Amino acid sequence: MLTDKCIIVGVTGGIAAYKVPDLISKLVKAKAEVHVIMTESATKFITPLSLQTISRNPVISGMFDTPGEWEVQHVSLADRADLLLVVPATANIIGKVCAGIADDMLSTTIMATRAPVVFAPAMNVNMYENPLVQANIAKLKSHGYRFIEPATGLLACGYEGKGRLPEVNTIFEAICGLLGAAKDLAGKTVLVTAGPTREYIDPVRFLTNGSSGKMGYAIAKAARDRGARVILVSGPVNIPVPAGVAHVPVISAREMFDAVVKHYTEADIIIKTAAVADYQPKEKLESKLKKGPGDWNLELERTPDILQYLGEKKGNRILVGFAAETDNLVQNASVKVQAKNLDFIVANDITQPGAGFGTDTNVVKIIYRDGRVEELDKLDKKEIAHHILDRVVNLL
């Protein structure tokens, strides 16, 4: 995927620098040409020799290192780069770039490049949440610089909170996304709903289903990789949010409805993989219900039908639904295409092995408004995602 892509990895002085060799090793294995620039502080956390050995290229750490084959190193590397990744990115480098300061090899190269620049910040939670740092990040984003959101957890400084460098795989995937795929969704906004909803009965019990979010997250990633801006409205799942997508977490069908109503006007394409509960308890108890000797009759009422709402507001948007069926797959899904005013529906027969909820693969049929039915083989959800987007692109 990264064959012959020239990636500059800028390393700044943070404890998370210990993860950089692993990342560089993955990039090199994916056949990228990797050049490392280290700030002076970075060299206190990890040695240039390690990164030189793993990247298989000389590491630049000083502004006035003896030029090797390059005449003016910061300009020549900046010109050749397909992407410049700053990892870990400290508050200092973010602030410097934001202020237009170029006083070392890394900051001068960032100023000089026209390649996409991606920052992967990692720092103490209070530093990360400092309004000055947040303002700098917002300003850099408005100038087209990209950020991979830090993860939340126990930080090296002993604090708990947002500021951890994301897993190496997450960073690697974000880079593949930026450099790997055809950008046929550039300029488009894709709204994806994913995961289950939870309809609480009392503070500890809820109605839900087995959606893992894998299908929806695969679509969100694929759309991002194809250049789209992605809004991912997701119910509670246990998989990481893909880097570079706007994540709107929700719990219940009502919250998902509200989030979709808030964001759908921004979208050119809406793909509804979420397994939304059709019913919610008529009453939500404030305290946990103590079990008694008898039965418990639960009264349920309909949740808002999000897809129905979107169908009524469709306009020129492309609207794609999903259907999870156990019987009469094509017939039941076809009714939904018409009733919900969809461009097409992706129907999974969840009785098939490797299809539907929780699996890494899916087995689907794509059913269009005119009754055409396309059948896809059993494929990984990532591949299904691209097949769906290929069909969306054809409709654009």
User: Interface with ligand PMT includes 366 (CB under 6 A)?
Assistant: no
Each residue 192-231 as x (binds ligand PMT by CB under 6 A) or -, in order, gives -x-----------------xxxxxx---------------
User: Interface with ligand PMT includes 85 (CB under 6 A)?
Assistant: no
User: Interface with ligand PMT includes 306 (CB under 6 A)?
Assistant: yes
CA angle 297, 303, 305 (to 5 degrees): 150
| 176 noted as active-site residue | no
Query: DSSP readout, 196-215?
Result: B--EESSSS-EE-----SHH
**Closest CB 175 distance from ligand PMT, rounded Å:** 24
For residue 224, give Cα distances in angstroms to 34, 105, 156, 187: 23, 31, 31, 11
Please state the length of the chain.
396
User: Interface with ligand PMT includes 252 (CB under 6 A)?
Assistant: no
For ligand PMT, give the closer residue by CB, 145 or 322. 322
Q: How many residues bind ligand PMT (CB under 6 A)?
A: 27
In the three-class reduction of DSSP (H, G, I as helix; E, B as strand; rest coil), residue 393 is classed as helix
From the candidates 6, 98, 157, 176, which is the catalytic residue? 157
For ligand PMT, give the closer residue by CB, 228 or 256. 256
Alpha-carbon distance 255 to 98, whole Å?
36
For ligand PMT, give the closer residue by CB, 51 or 324. 324
Angle between helix axes 168-180 and 214-225 (nearest 10 degrees) is: 50
Each residue 158-197 as x (binds ligand PMT by CB under 6 A) or -, in order, gives -----------------------------------x----
- 158 Cβ contact partners less than 8 Å away, ≥ 6 residues apart: none
Question: Which run of H or of E encompasses 223?
Answer: helix 214-225
- The rounded Cα 45 to chain-centroid distance in angstroms is 29
- 319 Cβ contact partners less than 8 Å away, ≥ 6 residues apart: 270, 272, 307, 310, 311, 340, 341, 342, 343
User: Interface with ligand PMT includes 305 (CB under 6 A)?
Assistant: yes
For ligand PMT, give the closer residue by CB, 63 or 239. 239
Each residue 317-356 as x (binds ligand PMT by CB under 6 A) or -, in order, gives ----xxxx-----------x-----------x-------x
Which residues contact ligand PMT (rule: CB under 6 A)? 193, 211-216, 253, 272-276, 278, 303, 305-307, 321-324, 336, 348, 356-358
Catalytic positions are 157
